[in-house]
Structures are given as C-alpha cells and as structure tokens.
C-alpha cells in the first residue's frame, strides 16, 4: 500500500461504489470549474420575496375589514377569489421573440432536448404531467433528483418546459436531464469534466438529442495538453450535426480572456446575457478573437455568438417556489428554447444518421444575420452578433430542403 500513498481516488461514473487510483498530476481541469461560470455571481439565486406590508392607517384597517366581509360573502356564494401570483419574466420571452413563435403554434413538439446540469426536482407544480428522461452521473438515482445549490437544474429546466404560472420557451419538447454537477458544500455547483463529457455523450448517443443545453462551463486547459473532455465531447456532437448551446460564462469583471468551455468550441453556440433594459449584463464573459490553438475565429463562429435575457430571471426553484437568478445560464436556455421552436418548424435541420455539421453552419449564419445588433462594429466580444430575435431567426432560415 505504500506505493498508493500519493494517489487520489475517483469514483467510476458507471458505479460509484468502485473507485480508481489516479495520479493527481493528471487532475486539475475539473478544479477550474467555478460556480461563477454556472450563473451564480455576483447575485445569488434567491426565492421571490413576498411583498412587505406597509404599516396600516385607520383608513387602511377599515378597508381591510370591508375586504374581509366581502370575501366572506364571496365564499358563501361560491364566487372565485383570485390569488395574486408571484412575478414573471414575461418580458424576456416577449423581447427575445419566443412568444411570437409560440403564437404561431410552435411549442417544441417533436424536438429532443437534453440538458446537462445538477438534475431536476419534478415535484414543482410547473412540471405536473411532464415525462422526462433522467440519467445520474453524480450518484446512482434512477428517478429525477436535483443535487444542486438552490436547485440550479430545476431553475434552468423551468425556463424551457414549465407550464402554469409561467410557460417555458418550448414546453412540449421531448426532454432529458443528465445530472453531472452538484453542490460542493459551499453553495457552489461543481463537477468533474469527465462526468460532464460522459453526460454530453449520453445525450448524443443514448437519448439521441437534437439539442444539448449546457448552462455550465469552465476554462480551457492552459498546460498545453489539449482540450478537456467536455470540449472534445461537444466537438464530437457538433461534428455529427447535434446542436450544442452553452453559457459564455460570468467572469466579465475578472475575465480570463475567453468565453467558457465548452461553449468556446467552434460549432457550439455561446450565449452572453443582457438585462431587461437591453444592456449587456456586467458579468457576461468576453470572447477572444482567437481560439485555444491561436486560430482566428471567423463569422459566424466568433464568440460569443448571441446574447439573450439573463438578469433577474424568474423560474422554478426548490420547495415549489419561484426563484430569481442572474447569469448566462439563464440566457443559454432562452436560445435553446428558441432553437427548439425553429427545429419544430424546420425538421430537416435536425441531426440524422447521415448528417454532418452543414446544418449547424446554416443555422448559425442565420442566427448572426437575424440578431438585433448591439454594436456598430458587427461582432462584438461581449454582445456577439447581437440580441436574440427568435422570430427573425426563423424567418432568415426560411424553407430548407438540404443543408
């Protein structure tokens, strides 16, 4: 046993009761996965607060008494009393053009979307009746569970498939959640790069996803050893025609020089965040003009490609509550939902056994051409090609017979 004193032990993804001895010098990339990249800084996710009651005046007390009396009369006569709902982020769905496509009858039906995150809590009322596929790369659960700090995966899933109080962007997609991240005990969601890569491959090969949504990210390797496992899995998926939408990252205030990986992969769609006023959210990451191999990035693959709403977004949270969060995690799901609506309308764009990346090239070009510009200089390292306009994106793609 003396020879094993300086090794570390990692659980096998397929069976967590089995551990492998690993040379610690090969570990390190996964340690660079930060909660900031996954949408938690500088504002933590918070439950939507109840409105505080103001001190009541005598007139207010009289009004309150009358209101109670009227309520009793209504109850005795079986009249409906409507409760005031929590806030919504309807502005985000409307401004991005998603509601416009939904009004045209699109809902994501027939499109397969796989999300890699912390899991999902299906006990929320907004998921009532939802039938999802679930794969656990953190533990051994065979039923849906959320391992995250403040149920990050549940928040992201709600922006896509929720119904009821706030309808998601593509509520009728065929949906899968791959749990590959978890709370590290400090309120941060972290994960092993290999687990994320395995989850991406499961989405592609087992679930056969049309779109893989990644509200996560880390930094590229800087030791000269090449790209990480999750970036390699993303490249494999996009080369086969599977769309990958990934968060640009939230390190804008202390930027590391590029958008988060694996959104930095050429064919992936990297997404930055905006506020309700249309301004770039202060923490959204800056993209580099060159990729990790020092090759100049060319249109329509400059990073980030697009920005979408990502500030104080309301979505599903733990304990059947609605939460508010900020980050490129949120904006990523808006782009995922918009793309799902487009693939429903244009099914020939979806990956197939004989498909290559040509449809992704076509769709990304249309994305760049249809975005609402936020810079006079064309592509911008913070705002990309501009703000997401889902209806214009679909109109620009037009009828596609062959990519």
Whether the CB-CB separation of 170 and 113 falls below 8 Å is answered with: yes
Neighbours of 131 (CB within 10 A): 8
Arithmetic mean of pLDDT, 224-228 = 65
Alpha carbon 372 to its chain's center = 21
CATH no., domain 31-45+88-397: 3.40.50.200
Structure tokens at 279: 């301004």
Q: What's residue 69's pLDDT? A: 53
Which tops the pLDDT comparison, 32 or 400?
Answer: 400
Output the pLDDT for position 346. Answer: 95
pLDDT at 170: 98
Tens-digit pLDDT profile for residues 110-167: 999 999 999 999 999 999 999 999 999 999 999 999 999 889 999 999 999 999 999 9
Mean pLDDT score of the chain? 84
pLDDT at 392 over 70: yes
- The pLDDT, as a whole number, for residue 312 is 95
Domain boundaries, the chain: 31-45+88-397
Sort 118 into a burial class: Cβ within 10 Å, 0-12 / 13-18 / 19+. buried
Q: Report whether pLDDT(53) > 60.
A: no
Q: By the 8 A CB rule, do 95 and 372 touch?
A: no
Which of the four pLDDT bands, split at 50, 70 and 90, describes residue 192? very high
Query: What is the DSSP secondary structure assignment for residue 392, as one 8-state letter?
Result: H
Do the beta carbons of residue 271 and residue 304 sit within 8 Å? yes
Determine the Cα–Cα distance for residues 1 and 17; give it in Å rounded to an integer.
20
Between CA 246 and CA 262 the distance in angstroms is 7
DSSP 8-state class, residue 327: S
pLDDT at residue 256 in the model: 76
pLDDT tens digits for 322-356? 999 999 999 999 999 999 999 999 999 999 887 78
Task: Quote the CA–CA distance of 113 and 119 in Å, as a whole number.
Answer: 14
Q: Is the peptide bond before 42 cis (omega within 30 degrees of 0)?
A: yes
Distance separating alpha carbons of residues 160 and 337, to the nearest angstrom = 6
Q: pTM for the complete prediction?
A: 0.81
Q: What pLDDT shows up at residue 201?
A: 98
The pLDDT confidence band at residue 17, using thresholds 50, 70 and 90, is low
* Angle ∠(78,80,82) on CA atoms, nearest 5: 155
Distances (CA, A) of 91 to 135, 277, 310: 33, 10, 11
Q: Higher pLDDT residue, 81 or 202?
A: 202
pLDDT at residue 381, as a whole number = 95
Q: How many residues are given for the chain?
A: 403
């Amino acid at each position: 046993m003396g020879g094993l004193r300086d090794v570390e032990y990692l659980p096998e993804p397929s069976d967590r009761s089995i551990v492998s001895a690993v040379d610690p010098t090969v570990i390190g990339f996964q340690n660079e996965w930060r909660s900031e990249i996954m949408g938690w800084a500088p504002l933590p996710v918070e439950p939507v607060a109840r409105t505080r009651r103001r001190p009541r005046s005598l007139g207010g007390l009289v009004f309150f008494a009358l209101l109670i009396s009227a309520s009793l009369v209504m109850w005795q006569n079986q009249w409906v009393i409507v409760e005031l709902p929590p806030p919504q982020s309807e502005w985000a769905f409307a401004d991005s053009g998603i509601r416009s496509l939904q009004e045209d009858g699109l809902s994501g039906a027939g499109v397969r979307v796989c999300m890699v995150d912390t899991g999902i809590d299906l006990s929320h009322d907004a998921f009532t009746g939802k039938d999802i596929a679930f794969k656990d790369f953190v533990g051994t659960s065979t039923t849906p569970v959320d391992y995250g700090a403040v149920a990050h995966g549940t928040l992201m899933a709600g922006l896509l498939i929720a119904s009821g109080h706030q309808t998601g962007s593509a509520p009728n997609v065929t949906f899968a959640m791959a749990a590959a991240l978890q709370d590290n005990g400090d309120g941060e969601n972290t994960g092993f790069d290999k687990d994320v890569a395995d989850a991406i491959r499961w989405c592609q090969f087992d679930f056969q996803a049309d779109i893989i949504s990644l509200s996560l990210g880390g930094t590229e390797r800087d030791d000269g050893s090449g790209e990480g496992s999750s970036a390699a899995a993303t490249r494999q998926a996009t080369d086969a025609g599977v769309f990958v939408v990934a968060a640009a990252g939230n390190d804008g205030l202390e930027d590391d020089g590029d958008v988060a990986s694996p959104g930095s992969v050429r064919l992936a769609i990297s997404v930055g965040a905006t506020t309700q006023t249309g301004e770039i959210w202060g923490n959204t990451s800056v993209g580099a003009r060159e990729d990790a191999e020092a090759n100049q990035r060319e249109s329509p693959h400059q990073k980030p490609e697009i920005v979408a709403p990502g500030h104080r977004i309301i979505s599903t949270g733990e304990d059947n509550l609605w939460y508010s969060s900020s980050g490129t995690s949120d904006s990523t799901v808006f782009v995922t939902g918009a793309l799902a609506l487009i693939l429903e309308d244009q099914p020939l764009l979806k990956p197939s056994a004989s498909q290559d990346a040509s449809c992704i090239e076509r769709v990304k070009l249309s994305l760049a051409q249809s975005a609402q510009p936020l810079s006079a200089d064309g592509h911008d390292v913070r705002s990309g090609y501009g703000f997401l306009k889902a209806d214009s994106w679909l109109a620009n793609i037009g009828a596609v017979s062959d990519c």
